[in-house]
A and B are shown apart, each in its own frame.
Chain A
Amino acid sequence: MSGRVEGKVAFVTGAARNQGRSHAIRLAQEGADIIAVDICEPVPSIEMYPPATEEDLAQTAKLIEELDRRVVTTKVDVRDSAGLQAAVDAGVAELGRLDIVCANAGVFEIQPALELTDSAWREMIDINLTGVWNTCRAALPHLVAGGRGGSIVITSSTAGLKGTPNTVHYTAAKHGVVGIMRTIANEFASHSIRCNTVHPTGVNTVMIQNEKTWGLFEPDNAHPTRESAAPIFESTNALPVPWVEPIDISNAILFLASDEARYITGVTLPVDAGYTVK
């Protein structure tokens, strides 16, 4: 049976690990070749969880090759628009086309609003908002030139639909990408280029599985753990689960990227166990 995105090429940012890796693999399982990029380095204002590494990105590439799909990887920062453009151009030159974009790279940090430094604000906006635009900017000329349409999926968050304390920079950026999505959906519809956002609730990755995030959910516990925080996470979702897995986001993105969703565009799709409806 042919895959749901057979013969297509997907560009995935933040592909070194966790959700980005999962998206790359899920798309490859369904027949896509992958252009994978990641910063593979620490970002100064992000202190609560460890950065991805070049080994992580190499491991993503290995897992894709084991699926008999081709992969082109580049270590590049989504803030570096020229570097990002070069990475996409090189990927398209090697793989022959571009159809799917997953603007997934992002960072997260918890900070009370009035303690946020200028540089932490700027770094967050630069990566999580401008980085998403840079990603779309680098990819769109290839999608247009291909003349076959395309599908862009931007990873926002429930914080792109709802406000939460202590994350003003993250929440602002994640709301901002919805504006990018809605504009692209309108501006490129005539090229059959679709653009949608996904809005995950907590996903089981280091981004939330760290002591500072557990503490946000359990402010009265001096030594919060994954186990002690889980019921509080669960109480924020409607469905009886504390968080979802990267594969759940990948399955939503695969659907949006595939022809099954050929007329879905301009949509904010929560994959959030009912967080935003609660």
Chain B
Amino acid sequence: MGKLEGKVALVTGAARGQGRSHALRLAEEGADIIAVDICAQVDTVAYPMSTRADLDETVAEVEKLDRRIVAHVADVRDEKALNAAVADGVAALGGVDIVLANAGIASIGVAEDGNEAAVFRTLIDINLTGVWNTVHAAAPTMIEQGRGGAIVLTSSTQGLTGRGGDGSGAMDGYCAAKHGVVGLMRTFAHWLAPHNIRVNSVHPTGVNTPMIVNPVVESFLAESADVGDALANLMDVPVIEARDVSNAIAWLVSDEGRYVTGTTLPVDAGFVVR
């Protein structure tokens, strides 16, 4: 029997990359999935974002594991759309026990001339306010159900260090938002502990997903050797796999992590300790 049999997990940014990997990993352990993704381009993002076809592929792969999935296109900045998507998933699947606030963007490689503030603001809107919206879309139901639960917020090594900072809206916004996520995690951990709902953050180093494995980021790193060095891992591995982050999350949300709350868990090949 899976470790998450009978649980329902909300995953944002589930169309591809880490979000898809998390949905599949949790489904392998028996969870049903409420999947949300924007499936559209954001104009301060230089790499191609996900599509409806990506989200459909996540649905097909979860169903192949014999788990149920309810998928909606919604922007985590759009509270109303997000609340409606979650409410529909909750109604269809019988509640929600796990929340993975994973949706996010990076703006590396975007031309910023005169546009810095918009780049910065959009990063805060999606990577920070979007996380706040996500948790608030699900937490009231979790409290009311009275069956406890677990929430994991995807931050980054940029939520624990400012290494690589260069004064751009892209770096400032990403780093500030990912640090802000730690604040949300800590305050949510207090708020929800009496309800036996645990809240933790994970802090991946570079992950092999389309967010960083794309020509825009690759040429940015090639042109800025200093930043590349600053962003090197301690362990001899250039990037980790989405599955590595999923495994950490699967442990955190399972009963094996039943007394782990309020923690910042790096999955970072030693990036932060370096």
- Contact surface of A with B, Cβ cutoff 8 Å: 182, 185-186, 189-190, 192, 194, 201, 238-241, 244, 248, 251-252, 254-255, 260-267, 269-274, 276-278
Contacts of A186 in B (CB 8 A): 234, 270, 273-274
A260 and B251 within 8 A (CB): yes
Can you list 21 A-B pairs, Cβ within 8 angstroms, ordered by A? Answer: A185-B234, A185-B273, A189-B234, A189-B236, A190-B236, A240-B194, A248-B258, A252-B257, A261-B267, A262-B244, A263-B244, A264-B265, A264-B267, A265-B273, A267-B266, A267-B273, A269-B260, A269-B265, A271-B259, A272-B259, A277-B263
Contacts of B259 in A (CB 8 A): 201, 239, 241, 244, 248, 271-273
Residue-wise, chain B 188-228 has the 8 Å CB interface mask toward A (1 for contact) of: 01100110101000000100000000000000000000000
Smallest CB gap from A248: residue in B: B259
Q: How far is the CB of A137 from chain B (nearest CB, A)?
A: 20
Smallest CB gap from B245: residue in A: A263
Contacts of B247 in A (CB 8 A): 260-261
Of A248, A266, A273, A278, which contacts B270 at CB under 8 A? Answer: A266
Of B240, B262, B273, which contacts A270 at CB under 8 A? Answer: B262
Q: How far is the CB of B94 from chain A (nearest CB, A)?
A: 25
Of A194, A201, A267, A274, which contacts B193 at CB under 8 A? Answer: A274
Alpha-carbon distance A241/B261, docked complex (angstroms): 12
Contacts of B266 in A (CB 8 A): 264, 266-267
B261 and A185 within 8 A (CB): no
B144 contacts the other chain (CB 8 A): no
Contacts of A274 in B (CB 8 A): 189-190, 193, 198, 261-262
B67 contacts the other chain (CB 8 A): no
Smallest CB gap from B194: residue in A: A240
B251 and A255 within 8 A (CB): yes
A277 and B251 within 8 A (CB): no
Contacts of A270 in B (CB 8 A): 260, 262-263
B256 contacts the other chain (CB 8 A): yes
B186 contacts the other chain (CB 8 A): yes
A185 and B260 within 8 A (CB): no
Of A192, A194, A251, which contacts B236 at CB under 8 A? Answer: A192
Alpha-carbon distance A251/B269, docked complex (angstroms): 21
B91 contacts the other chain (CB 8 A): no
Smallest CB gap from B148: residue in A: A239
Contacts of A272 in B (CB 8 A): 259-260, 262
